[in-house]
Amino acid sequence: MTEKTAVTKDTRTASGEATLMPPVDVIEDGTGITLYADLPGVPKDKLVLQVEADTLTIEGEVGLAIPEDMEASHAEVSLPRFRRVFTLSKELDPSKVSAELNQGVLTLRIPKAEHAQPRRIEIKVD
């Protein structure tokens, strides 16, 4: 992994538990933003997305089960939890967030609020 794509440690949950900070790409267009978060090994039922005021929180727990009679000889991911927190712009509409999890990649779409959307102004001729 390069430094750009490496998972960063040292974020903490509200209870003080150490977590991994997953890499996230944020792409903005005229109608909103799309976030792509790499969450390998996190199943849908162990993924929590929360929007509170202007804060978006992504939390997930890795769901890789190792059989009892086996032990991992090497582990790239040493912490079982991911967490990432974003402050959302007032231009975005957090009530219309959509989310999709596909093969370890979480895709979030947050549209711009109506007042922040580009609009065409009609010109009247007398």
Amino acid in position 73: S
Is residue 20 situated within a structural domain?
yes
pLDDT in tens, 54-66: 899 999 998 777 7
Is residue 86 situated within a structural domain?
yes
Is residue 44 situated within a structural domain?
yes
Domain that holds residue 106: 8-66+76-113
pLDDT cut 70: percent of the chain above it = 86
Q: pTM of the prediction?
A: 0.75
Predicted local distance difference test score (pLDDT) of residue 2: 38
Is residue 124 situated within a structural domain?
no
Instruction: Return the bridge partners of 29, or none.
Output: 32
Domain count, the chain: 1
Is residue 126 situated within a structural domain?
no
Output the domain CATH number for residue 106.
Answer: 2.60.40.790
pLDDT range class, residue 43, cuts 50, 70, 90: very high
